[in-house]
Structure 1
Amino acid sequence: MTDRTWLAPMRARSADEPHRASTPLELFFDLCFVVAVSLAAAPLHHNLAEGHVLIALRGFLMVFFAIWWAWMNFTWFASAYDTDDDVYRLTTLVQIAGALVLAAGVDSAFEHSDFTEITIGYVVMRLALVAQWLRAARSDPQRRATALRYATGIAAVQVLWLLRLLLPAESAATVPVFVALVLLELAVPVWAENAPGGPTTFHPRHIAERYGLFTLIVLGESVMAATVAFHDAFDERAEYAAGLTRLAVSGVVIVFALWWIYFDRSAHRLLTSLRTSILWGYGHYFIFGSAAAVGAGLALAVDHVTDHAEISATLTAYAIAVPVAVYLFFVWLLHVRPHQAGPLRFAYPVGVVLVLLTPFVPGSIELIAGVLVLLVALGRRTPDPIT
């Protein structure tokens, strides 16, 4: 038997609630977003292999924003207002359905600059969240102004996203309008959380856990690419086996090190104010996106070793080096830097520079793996000033 009801009051949950963990519904939500992340990484890999670097980057950054922003907004809302009643569950399942529609439109966005399906799926997810915020406004009088600001701001921006579809696919205004709408989306939480009723009551440990789980999802793309390298090393002709084996081993070391660096210290103690929490949450766009892009870079390296890619060895190396460097910089900025003191606090910025220099020398992927292992080792020697 269950005590879950059809429609419960959506009251704010306590920010220091004990034993707060991700729910099965949240885990299912993440699982469905795996599809969207995977489908976004695949055309990034294929377009890079064909030498369409700018098209690959533009498409990936735009598509990944829709995935990340919808996931992030649900996560923070759930941390404050998860009632787990039937209406909440059904509304969340609508958001998941929107994510699947978004995922189905990824190929059209990359190949034809047609964002119709992605926009429809995105708007479905966002309007379902509007319904959740309206429920919160009704049940939480103290933060009613905050919830109504969220509902109003999100709904208004969705109208603008739909109007953007009226632009021709190849219009010069497509990217500037996209950037403007992204800035409006990013502004909504800042505006809403500063309402007279006060900010929402997110749970720091719950948020840190949710972000950690999504980091595992995007790192999964890199795990898959390393697995493909091992598979091909055994199946391809002997002339490719040595190169693929080196790539597979280096790829595994890179993925393991990226995992270690992110999860080495707990992040929940850093979420001490609204400002730091927003910056921490927004900065994860670069962590999540770069982690997924590392997988695409490793897949591209497999194509290059087997002579299936049309770009040079240097550009192939950069397809791994750039996302690794971005990942390192933002993990350092958001997670590592507050825990560091003394000369070792400069290790990560130096590591970023070294990673970006590796494509100019032979064995670049092996060198990237070496730099990451060194950073992991140095991290274990750094005292933690946060108690």
Structure 2
Amino acid sequence: MEDKKVTWIELFYDLLFAAAVSTATHVLLHVEKGEIYPEYFLKFVLIFIPIWWSWVGQTLFINRFGQDFLHQRIFTILQMLFVLIMTSSLSVDFDQYYLPFLIGYIGIRALTAIQYLVVRSLEEGDRKKVAQYLGTRFWIGIIISCFSILFDSWIRYSVLYAGIFVDIIVPFFGRKYLVKASSNTVHLLERFASLTLILFGESVISTLYVLQPQKGDWDSILFSIISFILIISMWWQYFENVEKKVDKSIQTPGQTIIYGHLFILMSLSMIAASIKLLFLNEVRYSFNLYFIFGSVLLYFITTTIVFHQYRFKQDRLKYYHLALFLGILATLFISNLIVEVSNIVIMGEMTLFFIIYAKLTTT
């Protein structure tokens, strides 16, 4: 497969979406009576999905059809403007900012669909069919979401996310076309790794935020050091797998990478939020445990699934590896429920888990 390199404008594009993800993560910091109410978790998910899908849409277009031409740069820059509109509209109070959010999201998705229709006339054979299929079918979800403006209350959001759901499943129904014009695996992994790296950076910033309020406080410094080691262990495990354990010659539609990373990126945001909450000690002990262990479990399961299909056969994990990792998490979680420990100890346990996870999956 022809090499495709990530361009500078793609990296610039990522930075804008990182700001949107950071805004979504902030929703998880709304603590009331020692816990985060389920409505905030729901709002986090409902905000995160349009952000992720907007980024994925343009990334997949560039992956298959992108060239560093002037008109494609202009399309990307126009999308950036709509990303800014969407990001500035992200809020827990969604009703107040709904119209600019909808304009931002629809603008991004419409520009992506238009780009497929533009390249359709330049392609031949299976690639032309892919461009035709995606360039026409994506409008179904876009139009459904547009109709949400006609409604109020929960019906508005039901219509909006019905359109987003249709948009997301369009590639599944078009798999017979997509398998004949596979995604560029090298470029796809690099793009998702780029966004993931930025979110790791956001996590490091979280640790610096933790340290700042209590300068000279050794408990804060120790907490930050342990948190940093945890993040570095996660980084090591993820990027060592991407760089050395993945067979980039495998040609597929890339759907495992695409949809699996929704949960990887969400879990990274959840882990970043849990680091802050553990330090600030504003939530109940039992809630702390469920939140951070649940976030780590989600990250572990999704990274395992995403990388398994693309690993070299000799490097694929066995069932006893899965049992070992789940056993470690279960043992730590149950023991912490029985015997209450400090938040620094919980962070130390999570760090130990990721060190073991990185060691056994990268050697």
Cα displacement (A) at 1:153 = 1.7
Tell me, what secondary structure is at the counterpart of 1:140?
coil
Q: Confirm or deny that 1:200 pairs with 2:178.
A: no
Q: 1:163 to 1:280 in 2, by over 3 A?
A: same
Q: 1:128 to 1:268 in 2, by over 3 A?
A: farther
Q: Deviations over 1:332-375 (max 9, x none)?
A: 12115752247335333334535654752413222111221222
Aligned positions, number: 349
Q: Confirm or deny that 1:140 pairs with 2:117.
A: no
Q: 1:374 to 1:140 in 2, by over 3 A?
A: same
Q: 1:58 to 1:23 in 2, by over 3 A?
A: same
Match of 1:76 among 44, 51, 60: 60
The aligned residue for residue 93 of structure 1 is 77
The aligned residue for residue 18 of structure 2 is 34
The structure where helix makes up a greater share of residues is 2
Cα displacement (A) at 1:242 = 4.3
Tell me, what secondary structure is at the counterpart of 1:32?
helix
Tell me, what secondary structure is at the counterpart of 1:340?
coil
The aligned residue for residue 294 of structure 1 is 271
Cα displacement (A) at 1:70 = 1.1
Q: Deviations over 1:130-179 (max 9, x none)?
A: 1110112111132333212212221121111121233323x2x5665555
The aligned residue for residue 38 of structure 2 is 54
Match of 2:234 among 258, 267, 272: 258
The aligned residue for residue 119 of structure 1 is 102
Name which of structure 1's ranges 143-152 and 69-78 shifts more when overlaid on structure 2: 143-152
The aligned residue for residue 371 of structure 1 is 353
- Cα pair 1:134 1:148 within 8 Å, conserved: yes
Unpaired runs of 5+ in structure 1? 1-15, 236-240, 382-387
Give the Cα separation in 2 of the matches to 1:141 and 1:274.
20
Q: Deviations over 1:30-71 (max 9, x none)?
A: 111121111111222235787442122111111111111111
Match of 1:232 among 193, 213, 219: 213
Give the Cα separation in 2 of the matches to 1:154 and 1:319.
35
Q: Confirm or deny that 1:327 pairs with 2:299.
A: yes
Q: Confirm or deny that 1:246 pairs with 2:222.
A: yes
Name which of structure 1's ranges 37-46 and 323-332 shifts more when overlaid on structure 2: 37-46
Q: Deviations over 1:248-289 (max 9, x none)?
A: 1221122111111211223652673536x2122111100011
Tell me, what secondary structure is at the counterpart of 2:30?
helix
Q: 1:358 to 1:100 in 2, by over 3 A?
A: farther
Q: What letter is aligned with 1:313?
A: Y
Give the Cα separation in 2 of the matches to 1:106 and 1:47.
18
- Cα pair 2:149 2:156 within 8 Å, conserved: no
The aligned residue for residue 172 of structure 2 is 190
Q: 1:281 to 1:342 in 2, by over 3 A?
A: same
Q: 1:323 to 1:345 in 2, by over 3 A?
A: closer
Give the Cα separation in 2 of the matches to 1:295 and 1:284.
16
The aligned residue for residue 269 of structure 1 is 247
Tell me, what secondary structure is at the counterpart of 2:150?
coil
The aligned residue for residue 192 of structure 2 is 211
Cα displacement (A) at 1:180 = 3.6
Root-mean-square deviation (Å)? 2.6
Give the Cα separation in 2 of the matches to 1:243 and 1:312.
19
- Cα pair 2:117 2:136 within 8 Å, conserved: no
Name which of structure 1's ranges 295-304 and 262-271 shifts more when overlaid on structure 2: 262-271
Q: 1:344 to 1:356 in 2, by over 3 A?
A: same
Q: Deviations over 1:276-335 (max 9, x none)?
A: x2122111100011112211111222322xxxx3x3122234332222221111111211
Q: What letter is aligned with 1:234?
A: K
Q: Runs of 4 or more off by more than 4 Å in structure 1? A: 47-50, 173-179, 354-359
- Cα pair 2:28 2:36 within 8 Å, conserved: no
Match of 1:343 among 299, 308, 320: 320
Q: 1:68 to 1:112 in 2, by over 3 A?
A: closer
The aligned residue for residue 221 of structure 1 is 202
The aligned residue for residue 2 of structure 2 is 17
Give the Cα separation in 1 of the matches to 2:331 and 2:100.
40
Match of 1:65 among 49, 55, 79: 49
Give the Cα separation in 1 of the matches to 2:331 and 2:93.
34
Q: TM-score scaled by structure 2?
A: 0.87
Tell me, what secondary structure is at the counterpart of 1:133?
helix
- Cα pair 1:219 1:292 within 8 Å, conserved: no
Give the Cα separation in 2 of the matches to 1:247 and 1:255.
12
Q: 1:59 to 1:112 in 2, by over 3 A?
A: same
Q: What letter is aligned with 2:187?
A: H
Tell me, what secondary structure is at the counterpart of 2:121?
helix
- Cα pair 2:145 2:161 within 8 Å, conserved: no
What is the identity percentage for the equivalent residue pairs of Structure 1 and Structure 2?
19
Q: What letter is aligned with 1:272?
A: I
Cα displacement (A) at 1:80 = 1.3
